[in-house]
C-alpha cells in the first residue's frame, strides 16, 4: 500500500502483475487487433460509426492534420447499442467483450486499492462511482515513425477519468513526465500499467496526481495497445472531498464541475484544436487561484 500511495503521489503511474486478467486473453486480443489493423482501409472503414453518431464507437483514424498518428477501435460496455464491431477477424468481437469484462473487474479492484491508499471510508469510491455505463476501451495501433523528428504517436496529456489500465506490446513507447523529464514505461511480460486520472486528482485535492504522459512511435514498426478507461457517469458532480479540505483545514484547489462538462471541453480540444497547445482545456481550467480560495 505504501508503495502504491507514493507512486500515485509522485507519478500518478504504477505497474501491476497478478492482476487477474488472463494473459492468454490479453495476447489473443492483441493478435486479433493486429490482424484487423492490417486489413485494407476499405475493410476497416466498414466498422466506422455513421455520420452524426452521438458516440464515436467503432473504427476511427486520426484526421490528416492531427499531431497524433494512430488508428483505433473504440467500444463501450458489452451490449451497448453504440458498439460497432468488425465482422473480421471472426473471433474479435467476443474476445474484445471478454477483455472488457476482465478489465472492468481489475479497474474496480484498483479503485478499491486507491480508496484505501487515500484512507477513505471502506467502499467510498465504489459507492461514489457505481455507474459503469461511461466506461470504454480502445484498441490502438500507432503507425511506425518515419524518423526521429516525426515520431509523435499521442501528444502529451493527462487522462480526464478516474483510473486507466494500459496493456502495451513489446514495442513500448509510453512515457510519463516527472520533474521535466520523460521517463519510458518499459513493457514487461503480462504487466498492466495503471494511470490515475484527473477525477481522482480533484477528489483527493491533488493528493494523488494525474500524470502527464505521451506515446512515442517506434522506428520501423507499429505499436499496439489496449487502453481501458474507468470513468464517472456524466452527471456526476466532481469537487475536492471534505476529507482532504475542510476536515483537515485545507482550502480546495479546484471548484466543482459536472463530469460531462469537462469531458465535452476535452472533446472540443480535439474537434476544434486551439492555436497553441498551451490553450487546451485541462483540469487547471477548474483550479482556484489563491485569491479565490476559501
| CATH number, position 18 | 2.60.120.330
Q: What is the mean pLDDT of residues 215-223?
A: 93
Q: Find all residues with CB under 8 Å of 287, minimum gap 6, and list them.
A: 253, 254
Say if residue 53's pLDDT is above 90. Answer: no
Tally the C-alpha atoms within 13 A of residue 143's C-alpha that lie toward its C-beta: 12
pLDDT classification of 210: cutoffs 50, 70, 90: very high
Say if residue 32's pLDDT is above 80. Answer: yes
Rounded distance between C-alpha atoms, residue 176 and residue 183, angstroms: 5
Q: How many helices (H) and strands (E) in the chain?
A: 7, 13
> Nearest-5° angle of CA 273, CA 278, CA 281?
60
Closest listed residue to residue 13, CA positions, set 173, 179, 192: 192
Closest listed residue to residue 173, CA positions, set 211, 229, 210, 221: 221
C-alpha cell at 215: 506515446
Q: What is the mean pLDDT of residues 254-274?
A: 88
For the stretch 113-149, pLDDT in tens is 999 999 999 999 999 999 999 999 999 999 999 877 7
pLDDT above 70 covers a percentage of the chain that reads: 98
For the stretch 140-186, pLDDT in tens is 999 999 877 778 899 999 999 999 999 999 999 999 999 999 999 99
pLDDT classification of 287: cutoffs 50, 70, 90: very high
Q: Are 234 and 261 in contact (CB under 8 A)?
A: no
Residue 235 burial by CB count (10 A; 0-12/13-18/19+): exposed, middle or buried? exposed
The per-residue pLDDT for 240 is: 98
Rounded distance between C-alpha atoms, residue 98 and residue 27, angstroms: 13
For the stretch 91-112, pLDDT in tens is 999 999 999 999 999 999 999 9
The per-residue pLDDT for 293 is: 41
pLDDT classification of 290: cutoffs 50, 70, 90: low
Total number of domains constituting the chain: 1
pLDDT classification of 289: cutoffs 50, 70, 90: confident
Q: Find all residues with CB under 8 Å of 23, minimum gap 6, and list them.
A: 190
Closest listed residue to residue 232, CA positions, set 255, 209, 258, 211: 258
The boundaries of the domain holding residue 184 are: 2-292
The pTM for the full model equals 0.94
Average pLDDT over the chain reads 92
The per-residue pLDDT for 149 is: 75
Residue 37 burial by CB count (10 A; 0-12/13-18/19+): exposed, middle or buried? buried
Say if residue 83's pLDDT is above 90. Answer: yes
Amino acid at each position: 500500500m505504501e508503495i502504491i500511495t507514493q507512486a500515485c503521489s509522485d507519478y500518478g503511474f504504477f505497474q501491476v502483475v497478478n492482476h487477474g486478467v488472463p494473459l492468454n486473453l490479453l495476447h489473443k486480443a492483441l493478435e486479433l487487433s493486429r490482424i484487423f489493423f492490417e486489413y485494407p482501409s476499405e475493410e476497416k472503414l466498414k466498422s466506422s460509426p455513421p455520420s452524426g453518431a452521438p458516440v464515436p464507437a467503432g473504427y476511427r483514424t486520426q484526421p490528416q492534420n492531427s499531431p497524433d498518428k494512430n488508428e483505433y477501435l473504440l467500444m463501450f460496455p458489452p451490449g451497448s447499442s453504440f458498439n460497432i464491431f468488425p465482422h473480421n477477424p471472426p473471433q474479435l468481437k467476443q474476445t474484445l467483450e471478454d477483455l472488457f469484462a476482465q478489465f472492468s473487474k481489475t479497474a474496480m479492484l484498483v479503485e478499491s486499492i486507491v480508496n484505501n491508499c487515500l484512507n477513505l471510508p471502506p467502499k467510498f469510491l465504489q459507492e461514489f462511482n457505481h455507474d459503469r455505463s461511461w466506461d470504454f476501451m480502445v484498441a490502438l495501433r500507432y503507425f511506425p515513425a518515419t524518423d526521429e523528428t516525426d515520431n509523435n504517436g499521442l501528444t502529451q496529456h493527462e487522462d480526464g477519468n478516474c483510473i486507466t489500465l494500459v496493456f502495451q506490446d513489446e514495442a513500448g513507447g509510453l512515457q510519463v513526465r516527472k520533474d521535466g523529464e520523460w521517463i519510458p514505461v518499459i513493457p514487461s511480460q503480462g504487466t498492466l500499467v495503471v494511470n490515475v486520472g484527473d477525477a481522482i486528482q480533484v477528489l483527493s485535492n491533488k493528493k494523488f496526481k494525474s500524470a502527464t504522459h505521451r506515446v512515442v512511435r517506434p522506428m520501423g514498426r507499429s505499436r499496439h495497445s489496449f487502453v481501458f478507461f474507468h470513468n464517472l457517469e456524466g452527471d456526476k458532480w466532481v469537487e475536492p472531498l471534505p476529507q482532504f479540505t475542510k476536515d483537515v483545514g485545507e482550502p480546495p484547489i479546484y471548484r466543482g464541475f459536472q463530469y460531462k462538462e469537462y469531458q465535452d471541453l476535452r472533446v472540443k480540444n480535439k474537434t476544434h484544436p486551439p492555436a497553441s497547445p498551451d490553450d487546451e482545456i485541462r483540469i487547471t481550467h477548474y483550479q482556484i487561484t489563491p485569491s479565490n480560495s476559501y
